[in-house]
Structure 1
Amino acid sequence: MKPERTLIIGIDIDGTVTEPSSIVPLMNESFGKHLRYEDCFAYNLATVYNITEEAFADWLDKNGERLYDEAPVHGTADAVLRNWYHQHRLVYISAREARHRDVTLNWFSRYQIPYHELDLIGSHDKLAAARKWRVDLFLEDRLENALQLSEDLEIPILLFDTPYNQGTLPELVHRVYSWEQVDTLVKSWPIKHILR
């Protein structure tokens, strides 16, 4: 039986642990645009950049390694995660493909970001992985994932505020604005009572 306040925390990587705006300069460079992060009103950047899904998939295939290597840390994510490591179980569940494991691990090492599990599932559908790891809580930036996980697993989701995830949120999904705020909420577990 796990200690009273130990949580299994599911954590997305891109846009959650990494700075959500980090993809924009690389996309601008590749597609000759001058968009700002604030212009990214949709998670699907093919829509934002007015390119085909195939063109975006091809771009990500060619530039994913650079993107994952160069992305800065989102706020104080590294410090918060280091503080959590000895108390909670940190399970990163990412849509990154398994072939990006080395660049991901090198990035984690560079920023001294600890982990217990790293599950690169190659898909935005994180439900099966979240079930497999039996997460108590999930940190995410993609609205569709937040809605699916909260509804199907009936767990709290902390959704990092971005231009592309605006909208009305159900009871178990809580919009957060910083890693400091996330840290405060986790320390105040159970979060369900805070979200009401």
Structure 2
Amino acid sequence: MNQLNFCIDIDGTITEAYDWIPRANEYFNTQIIPEMVTEYDEYIALGVDPKAFAEFYHLYGETIYAESHIRAGVKDVLNGLFTDHNLHFVTAREIEMKNVTEKWLSHHHIPMSSLSLLGSHDKVAKAYEFCCDIFIEDRYENAVQLASHGFNVLLIDCYYNQGHLFPGITRVNDWIDIDRHIDNYIQTYNYSQIAI
């Protein structure tokens, strides 16, 4: 079996997508619920100025990351994949968040081949660098950009990432669904290698 390369986002992908809401509601005196977060940028759902949200993030971003809950099924799927394949975590988090990110991954016993903190949502260069076979993502705009460069994307369903699914993007409900799609991909991939 050939090793495959999986690129995996962190926030909203292996972590629960809405863990930031209670702290943001308290800080901004708002009462939003997950269903109200229909855009990726949190300040839109909160109805606050981007600069005000940046101040909130500066104060509480690290705490929110440390307290994030892991999505159901993540560990089982990733442990199964890591036996034979490469797992590259590619996140838009800033490099200043490396310590809290590494601690969280270690605390949850998440296997990995590498961790890239880009400080940017442009993940295409990393996908090329890692010869990505499948990119697991929650941000719609990232999925579209990656798919436009020919990468296969599994887009984990969230209220804020609804939109037309371009070729190369598959919407998935949870990590059970992700596991099923990856298993099908691996079987197809292995069959194609034998056929060659």
Calculate the TM-score normalised by the size of structure 2: 0.92
Residues 17-56 of structure 1, C-alpha deviations (whole Å, 9 max, x = no match)? 0001111112112111111111101101111111111111
Distance 2:46 2:176 in 1: 32
Runs of 4+ in 1 over 2 A off after TM superposition: 190-193
- Tell me by how many angstroms 1:149 deviates: 0.3
SS where residue 181 of structure 1 aligns?
helix
Instruction: Report the AA paired with residue 4 of structure 2.
Output: L
Which residue does 1:44 correspond to in 2? 41
- Tell me by how many angstroms 1:166 deviates: 0.6
- Tell me by how many angstroms 1:191 deviates: 8.8
Distance 1:9 1:134 in 2: 9
Answering whether residue 8 of structure 2 is matched by residue 11 of structure 1, we say yes
Q: CA RMSD in A?
A: 1.6
Distance 2:188 2:117 in 1: 28
Instruction: Report the AA paired with residue 157 of structure 1.
Output: V
SS where residue 21 of structure 1 aligns?
coil
1:184 to 180, 185, 191: 180
Residues 54-91 of structure 1, C-alpha deviations (whole Å, 9 max, x = no match)? 11122112211101100000121122111111111000
Distance 2:48 2:187 in 1: 40
Structure 1 segments unaligned to the other structure (5+ residues): none
Which residue does 1:124 correspond to in 2? 121
Answering whether residue 143 of structure 2 is matched by residue 146 of structure 1, we say yes
Instruction: Report the AA paired with residue 188 of structure 1.
Output: N
Calculate the TM-score normalised by the size of structure 1: 0.92
Is the Cα–Cα contact under 8 Å of residues 91 and 117 in structure 1 kept in the other structure? yes
Which residue does 1:168 correspond to in 2? 164
Which residue does 1:53 correspond to in 2? 50
Pairs aligned (count):
189
Is the Cα–Cα contact under 8 Å of residues 185 and 191 in structure 1 kept in the other structure? no
Distance 1:55 1:125 in 2: 24
SS where residue 26 of structure 1 aligns?
helix
Provide the identity percentage: 35
Equivalence map 1:17-166=2 (5 Å) = 17-152=14-149, 154-166=150-162
Instruction: Report the AA paired with residue 77 of structure 1.
Output: V
